[in-house]
Amino acid sequence: MLVDSHCHLDFPELSGRLDEVLASMQANGVCHALCVCVALDGFDRVLQIARSDPRLSASVGVHPDSPDALEPDVETLVRLASDPKVVAIGETGLDYYRTEGDTEWQRERFRVHIRAARAAGKPLIVHTRSASADTIRLLREERADEAGGVLHCFTEDWDTARAGLDLGFYVSFSGIVTFRNAQPLREVAVRIPDDRLLIETDSPYLAPVPRRGKTNEPAWVLHVAECLAQLRGTPVEAIAERTTENFFRLFRDARRETDARD
């Protein structure tokens, strides 16, 4: 059984066809998907979706790409994270690729999330793009190792992965690892220890080969697993087992549905 550790089922591309998305998960052996929040004003919708099915869970956080988003504080994040369906804080982090000018607000927002994760005792979902040195620095300064978490949709180099692993973090790969031009990323992916590896879709974006250009969905995490299996010279079942085990170890509040066929 597979788990999609990061998706956005509340986004308009997917929110209108949840039944279909869940059926497709079932058909592809995907037993769970984590619905990741990107803005406080979207949290209720994410929570509502997660509550609609036992195979879904939720996070709470504000994405670094939205300068005008309602700014979270530690108390609010901790309060919202107390819902039993909420298993993580995020997504949060730094994205200098899509931001122009002063980025101090991003670092401050990231610090707030790390403090909230420590206070709530829940792991962090970290987004980092063109900002790896500051991401690692802030994780260290704010003692994020006490909360743990994942570097999601990982596209950085081995040194960044290594620094994340040293902080006790997991590293999650999306469909990007299947892209033709992603050879350097594949070289990083083979080096991640078995017990720190996660997989995700980041759907509706980043549909993996052989679905490129389509609206991505949690079922297609299977293609990410297949790619990693090939890279690491191991059966896809072993990747599925490892990454699923890792998911429920990291996101310990996520409920594992026991499937009748198990």
Shortest spacing between CB 237 and Zn ion, in angstroms: 27
How many helices and strands (H and E) does the chain possess?
10, 8
Q: Closer CB to Zn ion, residue 6 or residue 232?
A: 6
Among 85-93, 113-121, 140-148, 212-220, which window interacts with Zn ion (CB under 5 A)?
Answer: 85-93
Task: Extract the tokens encoding 146.
Answer: 């006490």
Task: Extract the tokens encoding 6.
Answer: 């990061």
**Strand-by-strand arrangement of the 124-129 sheet:** 2-7, 30-35, 56-60, 86-95, 124-129, 149-151, 170-173, 197-199
Residues 6+ apart with CB under 8 A from 173: 153, 154, 185, 189, 197, 198, 199, 200, 224, 228
Shortest spacing between CB 261 and Zn ion, in angstroms: 30
Shortest spacing between CB 200 and Zn ion, in angstroms: 8
For residue 44, the surrounding DSSP H or E stretch is helix 43-51
Binding track over 147-186 against Zn ion, x by CB under 5 A: ----------------------------------------
Assess 113 for contact with Zn ion (CB under 5 A): no
Q: Which of 32, 127, 196, 223 binds Zn ion (CB under 5 A)?
A: 127
Q: Which residue is nearest to Zn ion (CB)?
A: 127
Assess 129 for contact with Zn ion (CB under 5 A): no
Task: Extract the tokens encoding 102.
Answer: 């002063």
Shortest spacing between CB 252 and Zn ion, in angstroms: 21
Q: Residue 238, CB half-sphere, CA atoms under 13 Å: how many?
A: 11
Q: Closer CB to Zn ion, residue 127 or residue 186?
A: 127
Shortest spacing between CB 182 and Zn ion, in angstroms: 17
Among 86-94, 172-180, 213-221, 233-241, which window interacts with Zn ion (CB under 5 A)?
Answer: 86-94
3-state secondary structure of 181: coil
Q: Closer CB to Zn ion, residue 202 or residue 217?
A: 202
What residues numbered 200-229 form the site for Zn ion, per CB under 5 A?
202
For residue 35, the surrounding DSSP H or E stretch is strand 30-35
- In the complex, which residues of this chain contact Zn ion (CB under 5 A)? 91, 127, 202
